[in-house]
Structure 1
Amino acid sequence: MTPRSTEPRRDGSTSRRGSSRATGEDAGRSTGLGGIADARAYTPRGRTVREAAELRRNPRPARDTDPFRPALHVLDGGEPAPSRSGRRDPRQRAAQPARPPADEPRVSGRPGRSRDNAASVLPPRRRPDDARPTAASRGRGPAPAGRKPPRPPRGPRTPRPPRLADPRRRLRLATLLTLALFAVIGIRLIALQLVTTPAYADGGLQDRLSPPVVLPAARGSIYDRNEAVLAHSVEARYVYADPESVKDPGRAATLLSPLLGIPRSDLIKRLVKQKRPDGRWSQFEFLARGVDIDVAHKILELELPGIGIDRDERREAPGHDLAANLIGFVGQDMNGLEGLEARYDDVLRGINGEKVFEIGQGDLATEIPGGYSRVTEPKPGSSLVLTIDRDLQYEVQRILSQAMKQRKAKTAAAIVLDPRSGEVLAQASYPTYDAADPLKFDPVDREDAATSYVVDPGSVHKALIFAAALEEGLIKPDSTVTIGPAIRKGDTVFADTHHVDPGTRMTLPGLMAYSSNVGTIKIGALLGPQRIYDYQRRFGLGERTGVGVLGEASGRLLPPKEWSGSAYGSVPIGHSVDVTPLQMAAAFGAIANDGVWVQPHLIKEIVDHNGRSSSTPAPKTRQVISASSAAATRTIMEAVTTVPNATGLSAAIEGYRIAGKTGTGKRIVNGRYTSEEVASFIGMAPADNPRYVIAVFAHTPNGTGGAVAAPAFREMMAYTLRHYRVPPSGSKAPAFVVHR
């Protein structure tokens, strides 16, 4: 094996790479660059190729200036460094192996390079014959035949340096980890920005939002048939406080109390700091609603910290008590409590809006300009157009109140009805109240007597018995009935108030004019319980009319199976029959309308906040009796206002034919009769072509229908005919024969 050079090539050889010749001292040494010795002597701190070439051009430098020369010798095995003169030690030179002769042929395939250069470039190869020293070479003679030569002893192993990691693998791994990290961060950012953004944003926003501020929706108005205002909402202000911002609650309460009309003690409770049911501090408290605008301006001039005003509305009834029992009123929150205001509250009320906005904290707890704000605009309610005529309503109420005060009546009702359409033109109650301040009046005074009071109709019920008997053909307009002073039914004796002798034959107009109980009971006996009950139902008794008033009573009829012996006498003359004044007015409307019953109603149309109107469902109608039977009944009833000494003479109107009937009954409270009587009169005019029906019921200590209700009817009907310019009757009432 070729011995390794003990000295790396550090001489100043000037031989060119690839030269095959050398001269002088350099002839015995390899002069090629990049030999194995040079390669092993080259370290990160060794010479560069350019420096080695420079040394070859100048082999004997004056002074070795390489500062790392001692270290390189240490790396080479600790051999002594050459002298400062640049000459090598002869001992080192002797240890150099012999160089190949100068005329060594060139290595094939690499032109211009000698073998010695090739050997200096390529590491020496081991050959099998010189891989190990043989016995002959060691002086031991030839090795025995068939026996392998012994292995030479191995010298100490040189430890291999640790294998360095591949930088490319580390770079790829670091790149993958970096990309994975950025991917995770990117996915998380996308999730935060797009997927869960609303949740995080809302979570923080909720802490900065103010409590919802209600934007009241304007309540619809109530108009009469000519669109005159009966009840409407007007612009006002509400006063509120932010207890968090009120500096001096006592002083603020003292100043606000006289302006708002609220006791100081009540105001202080709303002005001091307080927690809401959800545990948060209250930042909004109502102090007053519906405050006049001028009063609100005075409050602003006080410049009280934490006190503010905002837009509100207040319900007003310009007529005060005009149709108050019919219209009703609203509460502080503009919700209907009684009457039409309560019955049609869902139509009138509308839908409130809401405002929520972002506020600051602490002393800056006000709306943030440009911050989050959500406003839901209020939707105003629709308006009601009634069938009521305001002028007629006023006169009917005035006449009723004046008459009832004179008679010291407790309760009274009056209805003006158009029998052809079923429209209620006026519906008055006594007593009444001021709808602008309803809580100052007794709850009983606020009831609508026409629909909530249940009464015994008394003798006005007799007209229905006559009409049913005529329709059934049991009697004719010229029929007569033999009567006496009294008649017994069951255990009760029923007598006439107008005395007649036994066996007196009286015509139908005479029976009606004198309100004969005996004659009516006999005609009722011809009908029988079942037919009486059927006609009562067909005339609309015993069931709600559906006029539209909240709390309307239905009344009650006595079924035939419940009739006792006395019921055969009491029911035909209007006792043991529970009805409302409006039901009786509608029944007489069927007689006035040629036998067609039309459902009474108060609502003409509904108008939304955009001005679009929608009509209400058409009223129910049904034919109760024929037109001829209705006409015959009207003629018979004219005797009540024309026959001498008749019960209804005080209802007559000059120039007009009036058909009607008086009555005296009882009021029923909690299923029991009261001690006072209910006087009534129901009539129509003109009798030959009825345009209007008016019913008057009065609960008085005493007095008959002719004395109490008929005079009030006359004034109401006279005004109604003049108001609607109804011409006088073209003919006079017939001359009635009473006895035959």
Structure 2
Amino acid sequence: MRRGYSPRGHTVGDDGDEDRRRRAAVRRGGDALRPALRLVEGGAEPESPRRTARARERTRQKVAATPVDRQSNTRSVRARQTQRATATKASGPRRRVIKRRLPKIGNPKRRLRLGMTLILLIFAIAGGRLVQLQVTDAAAYAADALGQRLQEEIIPGSRGSILDRNGERLAFSGAARYVYADPELIEDPKKAADKLTPLLGIPTRELADKMKQTKGDGPPSRFEYLARGVDVEIGDKIEKLEIPGVRVAYDERREVPGQDLAANIIGFTGLDGNGLGGMEASYEDILAGRDGERKYEVSASGQEIPGGFHREEKAKPGSDLKLTVDSDLQYQVQRILSDTMAKKNAEFGAAVVMDADTGEVVSMASAPSYDAANPMEYDKSLRGDRATDSVVEPGSIHKAIVVGAALEEGIIDRDSEPVVGPTITKADNTYRDTHPHEKRPMTIGGILAHSSNVGTIDLADKLGPEKLYEYQKKFGLGAGTDVGVAGEAAGIVREPSTWQGSDFGSIPIGLGVAVTPLQMAAGYNAIANDGMYVQPSLVECTISPDGDKDKADAPKSHRVFSKKTARDLQYVLQGPIVVPDGTGTLAKIPGYNVAGKTGTGKLVRDGEYAPGEVASFVGFAPADKPEYTVAVFAYTPGGGGGEVTGTAFRDIMQYTLGHYRVPPSTEKPADIEVYPT
């Protein structure tokens, strides 16, 4: 079949070829009217619309007239595939088809199961953690969180006052301020310290270290003291600085209105308010108050949260301590002692005034002294009490013990006249009297008046070392008096088994024995108290914050001499004052009979004798009816006891008798001669 139309670009020959291909396709079972596909450069040759329509119509009619045969249909499909392959091969080189392997699609059910498992696991972990936080550890976490928000503030417990026997305050706690820091709220410790140093007088580095946040295993500190006992005015200035994390609160500071008045007895406290010396230290448990505490919840800015946690434990004040000391008398005794030291160029001195009946210490002075309100500004050696911590040789004041023991043991009586030689030798040491004389009888009052070494050693030989040692102990030597002042020394009294060589001559006259001024005052007070030793006391009572008084325990007492021996000793001890050339004539007081003894010994320092002399005078008045005992000691470059301390003894005793309105003596002074006529 020929067609009248040829597409553009085709020739008749080309149409012939096309007819042949179409007939071949029909023989293979294909569509004779469908042109074979072929690849041509530039794309497929367009086909005439009219031819295409007629071809589709013939194909439709043929399919409608032909029964359906799957096998022939399959062969027809294969024929067309072959035809297309042949056309492709004829049109040019065959392109290589690269088959790509598509990824395997996962199983959605498996993914769902895995996802569900993960979700359930997450919920289980979260739920378990919630149970732990809200049930198991809820209290601990809540407490920890609260602890981080809590601010602690100390409420100082008022320290008790120290009063004299008349109720005058010797030391008390006055209003002050303390400065503290919350390190958690301080951003720049160095900057804050720079502002505080000029006001507090504390080095910047020290303040900055306190304000740094604590680093360690424990919880961070929210409270650090920066200074205590700060003046109220200084505290107000610090508050005006408004330094974040630095606060000022009420505090107390120890006030001592008398400054050095009775400072050796009162003692002093540290910056934290604790007692460090004297009665402040000895009676710390009674004087110290119990601090209270205030805890409250604060915000991040450090302000208290209204309605938040708040707990306050009230402070408990300490009790007052009422002493037996008379502040008026104490002032005069300190003045007299200081004047004596200045005149005699003494390094230190001590004076004690005791009530003969009760053993109460109404005055106990040390010189030089210090300001108990500012103790750290003074050398440590000035902050003690010379009456209780200085260990000295008693010297000739020890002779009264030997004479009293000889009287008590019946070796002599008040009217005895033993023969006394000019010297006596013990081992390699020869002892002689300061008043030279030949071998002759002397009165007992004369032995004391001239402070005879030879006469005293003779009496000690008759008494024996064991008996002398026994009376030394009864006299209170070698043991602390437990008067209550911190740091009291016990002194040294040697047992007879340790005596050797010249000890048998030295110990009776007060050499080789170590005592404190208070011990000798208490011993002579036993003579004044008719032979009854009464433990010296400084505390009358304690007064609770409620005003209840608790009297101090009754002092211990024991008998040293019989009343008769004591009375005889009171009489013969007037010898040093009434005998014209006696060692204690400077102690005379108009209108009063005075009994006493002078002494000169050595200072024991670090177990060795120090250069210089310790002059002393111990006695009581009125001698016929003793009311008060006075002891005065002074460590000087040299000089006898009467010369150095006689005047001081007289002035102290005279003021004491007048202060307490003691009536003058009604009996005549003792009639004593050194050598019997």
The TM-score by the shorter chain falls in which range?
A: 0.7 to 0.9
Say if 1:416 and 1:427, in contact at 8 Å, map to a contact too.
Answer: yes
- Name the amino acid aligned to 1:654: P
- CA shift for structure 1 position 205: 3.0
Deviations 1:650-689 (A, max 9, x none): 1111111000000001111122111211100001000000
Say if 1:274 and 1:281, in contact at 8 Å, map to a contact too.
Answer: yes
Shift of the 579–436 alpha-carbon distance from structure 1 to 2, 3 Å rule, reads same
Shift of the 364–297 alpha-carbon distance from structure 1 to 2, 3 Å rule, reads closer
- CA shift for structure 1 position 255: 3.9
How does 1:240-639 map onto structure 2 within 5 Å? 240-246=180-186, 249=189, 252-271=192-211, 273-278=212-217, 280-360=219-299, 363-501=300-438, 503-639=439-575
Deviations 1:17-45 (A, max 9, x none): xxxxxxxxxxxxxxxxxxxxxxxxxxxxx
The aligned counterpart of 1:721 is 657
Shift of the 204–734 alpha-carbon distance from structure 1 to 2, 3 Å rule, reads closer
- CA shift for structure 1 position 383: 1.2
Say if 1:458 and 1:664, in contact at 8 Å, map to a contact too.
Answer: yes
- Structure 1 CA distance for aligned equivalents of residues 233 and 378 of structure 2: 28
- CA shift for structure 1 position 241: 2.9
Alignment TM-score, normalising by the size of structure 1 = 0.71
- CA shift for structure 1 position 274: 2.4
Shift of the 276–730 alpha-carbon distance from structure 1 to 2, 3 Å rule, reads farther
- Structure 2 CA distance for aligned equivalents of residues 275 and 451 of structure 1: 45
Deviations 1:97-139 (A, max 9, x none): xxxxxxxxxxxxxxxxxxxxxxxxxxxxxxxxxxxxxxxxxxx
- Structure 1 CA distance for aligned equivalents of residues 574 and 192 of structure 2: 71
Say if 1:419 and 1:586, in contact at 8 Å, map to a contact too.
Answer: no
Seq. identity, %: 51
Deviations 1:231-287 (A, max 9, x none): 11101111223344346655544443333233444444444x422544544443322
Deviations 1:296-335 (A, max 9, x none): 2222233333332110000111111111111111111111
The aligned counterpart of 2:636 is 700
Matched position secondary structure for 2:476? coil
Matched position secondary structure for 1:572? helix
Say if 2:161 and 2:321, in contact at 8 Å, map to a contact too.
Answer: yes
- Segments of 5+ residues of structure 2 without an aligned counterpart are 1-126
- CA shift for structure 1 position 490: 1.6
- Segments of 5+ residues of structure 1 without an aligned counterpart are 1-184
- CA shift for structure 1 position 708: 0.7
Shift of the 404–238 alpha-carbon distance from structure 1 to 2, 3 Å rule, reads same
- CA shift for structure 1 position 735: 2.3
Deviations 1:496-529 (A, max 9, x none): 111112x221111111100000001111111101
Shift of the 523–384 alpha-carbon distance from structure 1 to 2, 3 Å rule, reads same
Shift of the 270–337 alpha-carbon distance from structure 1 to 2, 3 Å rule, reads same
Matched position secondary structure for 1:468? helix
- Structure 2 CA distance for aligned equivalents of residues 316 and 539 of structure 1: 38
1:208 aligns to 2:149 (yes or no): yes
- CA shift for structure 1 position 389: 0.5
Matched position secondary structure for 1:364? coil
Say if 2:267 and 2:277, in contact at 8 Å, map to a contact too.
Answer: yes
Deviations 1:696-721 (A, max 9, x none): 11111101100111111011001101
1:649 aligns to 2:590 (yes or no): no
- Structure 2 CA distance for aligned equivalents of residues 447 and 725 of structure 1: 32
Deviations 1:414-440 (A, max 9, x none): 100112111000111112111111111
The number of aligned residues is: 547
Question: Which deviates more from structure 2 when the two are superposed, residues 438-447 or residues 282-291?
Answer: 282-291
Matched position secondary structure for 2:418? strand
- Name the amino acid aligned to 1:708: V
Say if 1:276 and 1:282, in contact at 8 Å, map to a contact too.
Answer: no
Say if 1:679 and 1:698, in contact at 8 Å, map to a contact too.
Answer: yes
Matched position secondary structure for 2:276? coil
- Structure 2 CA distance for aligned equivalents of residues 256 and 204 of structure 1: 31
- Name the amino acid aligned to 1:729: S
Shift of the 201–299 alpha-carbon distance from structure 1 to 2, 3 Å rule, reads closer
- CA shift for structure 1 position 450: 0.8
Say if 1:666 and 1:676, in contact at 8 Å, map to a contact too.
Answer: yes
Say if 1:512 and 1:640, in contact at 8 Å, map to a contact too.
Answer: yes
Higher normalized contact order (CA 8 Å, seq sep 6+, divided by chain length): 2
Say if 1:415 and 1:428, in contact at 8 Å, map to a contact too.
Answer: yes
- Structure 2 CA distance for aligned equivalents of residues 303 and 196 of structure 1: 39
Say if 1:459 and 1:574, in contact at 8 Å, map to a contact too.
Answer: yes
Alignment TM-score, normalising by the size of structure 2 = 0.78
- Structure 1 CA distance for aligned equivalents of residues 434 and 237 of structure 2: 69
- Name the amino acid aligned to 1:731: E
Question: Which deviates more from structure 2 when the two are superposed, residues 639-648 or residues 281-290?
Answer: 281-290
- Name the amino acid aligned to 2:146: L
- Structure 1 CA distance for aligned equivalents of residues 383 and 240 of structure 2: 40
- Name the amino acid aligned to 1:227: G
- Structure 2 CA distance for aligned equivalents of residues 319 and 406 of structure 1: 24
The aligned counterpart of 1:223 is 163
Say if 2:572 and 2:670, in contact at 8 Å, map to a contact too.
Answer: no
- Structure 2 CA distance for aligned equivalents of residues 313 and 332 of structure 1: 10
Say if 2:492 and 2:514, in contact at 8 Å, map to a contact too.
Answer: yes
- Name the amino acid aligned to 2:143: D
- Name the amino acid aligned to 1:288: A
- Structure 1 CA distance for aligned equivalents of residues 573 and 154 of structure 2: 60
Matched position secondary structure for 2:590? coil
- CA shift for structure 1 position 200: 6.3
- CA shift for structure 1 position 209: 2.6
Say if 1:433 and 1:445, in contact at 8 Å, map to a contact too.
Answer: yes
1:658 aligns to 2:594 (yes or no): yes
- Structure 1 CA distance for aligned equivalents of residues 186 and 617 of structure 2: 64
Matched position secondary structure for 2:574? helix
- Structure 1 CA distance for aligned equivalents of residues 581 and 281 of structure 2: 47
- Name the amino acid aligned to 1:314: R
Q: 612, 620, 624: which is aligned to 1:676? A: 612
1:233 aligns to 2:173 (yes or no): yes
- CA shift for structure 1 position 556: 1.6
- Structure 2 CA distance for aligned equivalents of residues 354 and 337 of structure 1: 24
- Name the amino acid aligned to 2:284: D
Question: Which deviates more from structure 2 when the two are superposed, residues 365-374 or residues 508-517?
Answer: 365-374
Larger radius of gyration: 1
Matched position secondary structure for 2:442? strand
